[in-house]
Amino acid sequence: MKLEDLRKIRERGEKDISLRRGDARVNVVIGMGTSGIAAGARNVMSAFLDEIGKRELGDTIVTQTGGRGLASSEPVVEVHVKNEPVVVYGEMTDDKARRVVAEHIVNGSPVSEYVIEVRE
């Protein structure tokens, strides 16, 4: 192993332990209350995790919250990007989740047709 090899391992490793640094740029919050789970929030979360993994987004974390009283719009997902308003998406599915990752998290433009609320 040379110094360059060491640095490559480091780069990979940094992504691997990024959760512990607490400095994520994007936090995807999935509503996992009873109604959220019933409406398929688990699948939506898996889709987010899968897509984030494929794209190696070391700066994005996925967390959960309880129901927020938007049962009719479940599964509900909030995307918190640092220094930007919180965007709330409703009636999420596997495909919609992948689009949010690509367009909102990677390219920075929220997918307006799924948005149900924007909070400062």
Partner 1 sequence: MPHRLDVLVCSGAACVSNHSAAVRDALQTAIEAHGLSTEVRLVETGCMGPCELGPVLLVYPEGSLYIRVSPEDANEIVEEHFLKGRPVQRLLWEDPEARRIAEEKKQVPFFERQEKVVLSNCGTIDPENLQEYIATGGYEALGQALTERTSEELIQIILDSKLRGRGGAGFPTGLKWQLAAKAKGDTRYIVCNGDEGDPGAFMDRALLEGDPHAVLEGMTIAAYAIKASRGFIYVRAEYPLAIKRLEIAIEQARASGLLGNNILETEFSFDVEIRIGAGAFVCGEETALIASIEGERGMPRPRPPYPSDVGVFGQPTLINNAETWGNIRHIVLRGATWFRSIGTESSPGTKVFALSGKVNNTGIVEVPMGTTLRELIFEIGGGIPDGKKLKAVQTGGPSGGCIPAQYMDTPIDYESLKELGAFMGSGGVIVLDEDDCMVGIAKYFLEFSCDESCGKCIPCRVGTRQMLSILERITEGGGSMDDLDQLQTLASTIQTTSLCGLGQAAPSPVLSTIEHYRNEYEAHVNEATCPAKRCKALIRYEIEPEACKACDLCRKACPVEAIEGTPGEPPYQIHQSVCIQCGRCFDVCPFGAVRIESGTKKQDEVEG
Which range in 25-33, 81-89, 95-103, 112-120 contacts partner 1 by CB under 8 A? 25-33
Burial of 40 (0-12, 13-18, 19+ CB in 10 A): middle
Q: Token pair for residue 107?
A: 């390219």
For position 72 contacting partner 1 by CB under 8 A, the verdict is: no
Which range in 1-9, 69-77, 87-95, 105-113 contacts partner 1 by CB under 8 A? 1-9
Which CB atom, from 62 or from 115, has the smaller least distance to partner 1? 62
CA 84 from centroid of its chain's CA atoms: 15
Site size with partner 1, rule: CB under 8 A: 34
Q: How far apart are CA 21 and CA 9, in angstroms?
A: 18
For position 24 contacting partner 1 by CB under 8 A, the verdict is: yes
